[in-house]
Chain A
Amino acid sequence: MPGPVTDPRGQVATDTPTRRGTEAALLGFAVLITVVAQIIVDLTVTGHLRPEMAGFSVWITALWVVAHLVVRRWASYADPLLLPAVALLVGLGLTVIHRLDLAAEQVNSTVTREDAPVQLIWATLGVALFVALLVVVRDHRALSRFAYTLALLGIVLLALPAVLPASISEVNGAKIWIRVAGFSIQPGEFAKICLVVFFAAYLVDKRDVLALASKRVAGLELPRGRDLGPVLLAWILSILVLVFERDLGSSLLLFGIFVVMLYIATERASWLFIGLLLFAGGALIAYQAFGHVRARVDTWLDPFAYIDGAGYQLVQSLFGLGTGGLFGAGLGGGRPDQVPVAKSDFIASAVGEELGLFGLVAVIVVYLVLVERGLRTSLVVRDAVGKLLAAGLAFAIAWQVFVVLGGVTGLLPLTGLTTPFLAYGGSSLVANFVLVALLVRISDAARRPVAPHATPVRLGDAPTEVVMP
């Protein structure tokens, strides 16, 4: 750690604190909440603590201690709130999944497959990747050197399930999986991060062209026709995902991220306008052409009309949220298992039922903190790629949470996106850990004081007495 920077008046000007102590305290708080939640669930549902409880507590504590120590060693100026927010969300997710495991066992005692331990293993893998990324990637700017490689990787990952046979890649109508030897992976989750890195590097390169060459039409700075290329390409990519993988969520996520990053890079509101127009066009085409999109929209408009079929899940989710009310039924006190696939897509409705509006809003605020820290990092960091990357990653989290919670509460049509960190699902969890590792890396660069010897003194720059003319 470099010593305090002294200013010429001989007083310590800025001794930027690393804030690692704050992070450790908040991480401890998050672990405490996780363990308390697990104890409450066990006591409420079964009346006694399960024997694995001690092992679980040690495991989860060890996980965050390792993550914290690695941040302390390799990203010592990183933002102190990113990791605790993630720890709380992961802990809550594990608890709700465990609670749903217990519910399934009560209904049918022969079911012994538990998902919470599997999720814990995924979380461990996520932390391992988080550690690896922080150790390997010492400077986020180095990533832009691999921009086109990452773009290719992203597109390959995105397209892989589409070209694989349906027996490997299709689950519940969505062709977004790779299922090998009992494991199922959603490569799209990783493609998302690769593409955000690519977008950031690409837009920093090209933004002058995209921002400067424009003509003014009706109060909007419209770009030239030929500069529309990239946004059209992103749009076509999203449509292709929709056609070949029948995945509304990824399609919406990709296009949203690209348009917003374009807007941030160029500061031209016209890109948002163009994006919205393209989105409206795409949505209209999708509604006309694809039955599964039309079914989603119809159940969204009137879920109770399809209560026995496509709308059942959403109606159960709405009932669950209604049962939860303001303060919820208490952890273990509700019936969140009434909602089909409550562990993954509808975990927010389980949270809403057991913790109520206050609990669900608390979870949303924790996401808000995460996103705010990302955007703050983007404002403070001194290089353009870092700015755009941090903003893009933060927006990816915000957009995903908005789309998922909108779907679960009936505000938006249902899409297949997962709630980051909370929902059951290995790929999503691991990918989001990678995302947070990138944010931690950038925030470290943002808050780190300018190193005293960062500017090599060259002969031409050496201080000379200049005689004023």
Chain B
Amino acid sequence: MSELVLQIFRFGFLLLLWLFIFAAFRVVRADLFGGRPGRVASVPPRTATPKKRGQRGPRTLVVTAGPLSGTKITLGDQPILIGRADDSTLVLTDDFASSRHARLTNRGGQWYVEDLGSTNGTYLDQQRVQGPLLVAPGQPIRIGQTALELRS
């Protein structure tokens, strides 16, 4: 083996290794900052028909306090069920939460929170939720030790 070839092998392989890491980091970056709508993607919507851009409703439900803190749920048009039951959208493991505790529903782009007859109640800001209440982005919803808010 000539010395030149050995040197090409030596540095070329290191370059290859770091190219792999570079590629991996690009994926990590796309995951962290890429797509505005979801938390994962940078792909544009398939049928890109953005309506009035000014009126963007909340897009994610973020858990801001409690054991699940940091969890995000991307909002669609399905209602979000919150409770200890396994089939809830957000499964709480909180002794203060009921199995079907609260529900967030979308009515025409606005989100409403309802309490589903929980034992310890659901609070929007400081107010106990009795009937469906309109939730503004950033307004804290409290269930036991967990706090949630809508973000756009």
A residues in contact (CB < 8 Å) with B:
4-17, 19, 22, 25-26, 29-30, 32-33, 36-37, 40, 43-44, 47, 80-81, 84-85, 88, 141, 204, 207-208, 265, 267, 327-331, 333, 355-356, 358-359, 362, 365-366, 369, 372-373, 376, 379-384, 387, 447, 449-450, 452, 454-456, 460-461, 463, 466, 468-469
Contacts and interface: CB of A to CB of B under 8 A. Distances in A.
Contacts of B47: 11-12
Interface string B77-108: 11101000011111101110000100101101
Given A365-B21, A384-B91, A449 B43 contact: no
Contact of A15 (B9, B13, B46): B46
B10 A328 contact: yes
Contact of B21 (A15, A37, A362): A362
B132 interface: yes
Nearest to B88: A455
9 contacts: A9-B51, A11-B48, A12-B48, A327-B11, A328-B10, A362-B18, A382-B91, A450-B76, A455-B87
Contact-residue size bin, chain B (C-beta under 8 Å from the other chain) = 35 or more
Contact of B68 (A36, A331, A387): A387
A321 to B, nearest CB: 16
Contacts of A355: 13-14, 17
Contacts of B39: 380
Contact of B75 (A13, A15, A327): A13
B131 interface: yes
Contacts of A32: 16
Nearest to B112: A466
B133 to A, nearest CB: 9
Given A8-B109, A463-B105, A359 B17 contact: yes
Nearest to B7: A330
Interface string B106-117: 101100001010
A29 B79 contact: no
B70 interface: yes
Contact of B59 (A13, A84, A267, A469): A13
Contacts of A40: 9, 13
- Which 10 A-B pairs give the minimum distances between C-beta atoms? A330-B10, A5-B76, A14-B38, A12-B45, A362-B17, A384-B93, A17-B41, A40-B9, A14-B74, A455-B81
B131 A469 contact: yes
Contact of A369 (B24, B38, B46): B24
B28 A11 contact: no
A80 B14 contact: no
Interface centre among A33, A36, A450 (most CB of B within 10 A): A450
Interface in B38-72: 38-41, 43, 45-51, 57, 59, 67-68, 70-72
Contact of A11 (B6, B20, B49): B49
A13 B90 contact: no
Interface of B: 1, 5-7, 9-11, 13-14, 16-21, 23-25, 27-28, 31, 37-41, 43, 45-51, 57, 59, 67-68, 70-79, 81, 86-91, 93-95, 100, 103, 105-106, 108-109, 114, 116, 130-132
A373 B31 CA distance: 10
B70 A379 contact: yes
Given A44-B9, A80-B27, A333-B6, A11 B51 contact: yes
A50 to B, nearest CB: 15
Nearest to A455: B81
B51 A10 contact: yes
A19 B90 CA distance: 24
Chain B's interface: helix, strand, loop or mixed, by majority?
loop
B28 A13 contact: no
Contacts of B27: 19, 22, 26, 80-81
Given A30-B20, A380-B71, A454 B132 contact: no
Contacts of B74: 5, 13-14, 16, 449-450
A10 B103 CA distance: 22
Given A17-B43, A19-B27, A356-B14, 18 more contacts: A4-B45, A11-B50, A12-B47, A12-B48, A15-B38, A16-B40, A40-B9, A80-B27, A330-B7, A331-B13, A355-B17, A366-B24, A383-B91, A450-B89, A454-B78, A456-B87, A461-B116, A466-B131
Contacts of A460: 116
B105 to A, nearest CB: 7
A454 to B, nearest CB: 7
- Among the interface residues A327, A383, A454, which one has the most CB atoms of the partner chain B within 10 A? A383
A16 B95 CA distance: 33
Contacts of B51: 9-11
A409 to B, nearest CB: 19
Nearest to A355: B14
A14 B14 contact: no
B1 to A, nearest CB: 6
B14 A328 contact: yes
B131 to A, nearest CB: 6
Contact of A207 (B45, B49, B67): B67
Given A11-B45, A11-B50, A204 B20 contact: no
